[in-house]
């Protein structure tokens, strides 16, 4: 994993992008369960997210929960080497979801793209509810160990990445899942999803 981080951080990304600007890294907790929740703009996101939030930036390793489609080609190789695992987004298995919950309960940092798909129209699309449901479930199992969700806005200039383009990464303030434990688990997940959507939209609008 160390070699994979180093190759991406020191060779692959600097050789392809002219500039990678990252702000807000201080929002990432130094310990405890964390879900990194980035917008999804390109297959390059799988490399940019660890550059901005992974071991060489924050001292923490990442684990990816991604759809089976994301595990193809170079991106799939990289995600696998980073400890990523695939989920069937149409029919997620109990075992896969339990694995994600267990990682959080162990204090790991998990990456989930809440939009589900790649969008390149300068809009934050409606978020899938799976991230919030997973976070609420993990919080109920982790007890006093607070689960944090970190919104991350990714933007490429031009929108479709090409050699020599620029990337802006904006990391927002954490949402604490303990603030969403009133009512049923379904209601908590709905409120959390709504607030995460607003947080991502705010970060994206500040980019304009």
Q: pTM of the predicted model, to two decimals? A: 0.90
Residue 25: per-residue pLDDT: 96
What integer is the mean pLDDT of 177-183? 89
pLDDT in tens, 4-50: 666 667 678 999 999 999 999 999 999 999 999 999 999 899 899 99
Task: Kindly write down the DSSP assignment for every residue of the chain, as one continuous string.
Answer: -HHHHHIIIIIIHHHH-SEEEEE-GGGS-SSS-EEEEE----TTHHHHHHHHHSHHHHS--EEEEEEGGGGSHHHHHHHHHTT-EEE-SSS--HHHHHHHHHHHHTT-EEE--TT-S---SS--PPPPSHHHHHHHHHHHHHTTS--EEEEEEEEEESSS--TT-EEEEEE-PPEEGGGG-SS-HHHHHHHHHHHHHHHHHHHHHHH-
pLDDT in tens, 66-86: 777 777 777 777 777 777 777
Domains of the chain: 2-207 (3.40.1130.10)
């Amino acid at each position: 994993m160390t070699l994979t981080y180093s190759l991406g951080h020191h060779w692959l990304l600097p050789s392809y992008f002219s500039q990678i600007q990252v702000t807000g890294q201080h929002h990432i907790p130094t310990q405890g369960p964390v879900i990194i929740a980035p917008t999804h703009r390109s297959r390059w996101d799988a490399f940019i997210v660890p550059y901005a939030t992974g071991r060489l930036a924050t001292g923490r390793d990442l684990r990816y929960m991604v759809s089976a489609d994301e595990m193809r080609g170079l991106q799939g190789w990289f995600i696998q080497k980073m400890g990523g695992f695939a989920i069937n987004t149409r029919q997620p298995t109990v075992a896969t979801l339990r694995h994600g919950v267990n990682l959080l309960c162990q204090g790991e940092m998990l990456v989930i793209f809440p939009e589900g798909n790649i969008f390149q129209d300068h809009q934050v699309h409606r978020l899938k509810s799976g991230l919030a449901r997973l976070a609420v479930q993990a919080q109920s199992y982790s007890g006093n160990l607070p689960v944090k969700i970190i919104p991350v806005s990714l933007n490429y200039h031009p929108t479709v990445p090409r050699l020599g383009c620029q990337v802006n990464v904006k990391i927002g303030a954490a949402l604490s899942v303990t603030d969403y434990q009133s009512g049923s688990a379904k209601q908590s997940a709905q409120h959390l999803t709504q607030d995460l959507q607003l947080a991502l939209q705010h970060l994206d609008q500040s980019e304009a």
